Amino acid sequence: RLKGEKTDLVSQMQQLYATLESPEEQLRDFIRNYEQHRKESEDAVKALAKEKDLLEREKWELRRQAKEATDHATALRSQLDLKDNRMKELEAELAMAKQSLATLTKDVPKRHSLAMPGETVLNGNQEWVVQVDLPLT
């Protein structure tokens, strides 16, 4: 009878240990999985932080390049405006010179006899007689 009770007690203890070991093993598995997922998450966060830093540097580099391009475009625009203004000034001077030349050459044949040697110059659609030996003053 004692042997039967002892066997029962041993059996109950084995069941109790099995019952206790099962949750303990589950808890160990849970902790192991949790640690693995935590490490993977930390690695992913580090990789994302690295990528974010890289993208941030690229963004600032692009902003710097855009500012330089804008400054360069502004400088080129200023140069173009200066050249356009200079070209307009030169066109105005040329028009004035043509007008002065037209006035001077138109008056030359009237002031001198036809016997003086002259040179015919074609200017646009008009033909002009220029007295070769006279200064145009």
- Per residue in 23-82, pLDDT (tens digit) is 778 888 899 999 999 999 999 999 999 999 999 999 999 999 999 999 999 999 999 999
Q: Could you tell me how many helices (H) and strands (E) the chain has, helices first?
A: 1, 2
Whether 136 maps to a domain, the answer reads: no
Whether 46 maps to a domain, the answer reads: yes
CA 122 – CA 116 distance, rounded (Å): 19
The residue that leads in pLDDT, 6 or 50, is 50
The residue that leads in pLDDT, 123 or 10, is 10
For residue 121, CA distances in Å to 4, 35, 115, 118 come to 144, 100, 18, 10
What is the reported pTM? 0.47
The residue that leads in pLDDT, 47 or 7, is 47
Whether 67 maps to a domain, the answer reads: yes
Whether 35 maps to a domain, the answer reads: yes
Domain of 55, in residue numbers: 2-131
> What is the domain count for the chain?
1
Whether 53 maps to a domain, the answer reads: yes
Of 30-39, 55-64, 88-97, 109-118, the one with minimum mean pLDDT is: 109-118
E strand or H helix that includes residue 131: strand 126-131
Whether 117 maps to a domain, the answer reads: yes
Cβ atoms 108, 134 nearer than 8 A: yes
Whether 137 maps to a domain, the answer reads: no
Q: How many CB atoms lie within 10 A of CB 1?
A: 5
Whether 17 maps to a domain, the answer reads: yes
How is residue 132 annotated by DSSP? Answer: T
Cβ atoms 112, 134 nearer than 8 A: yes
pLDDT for 18: 77
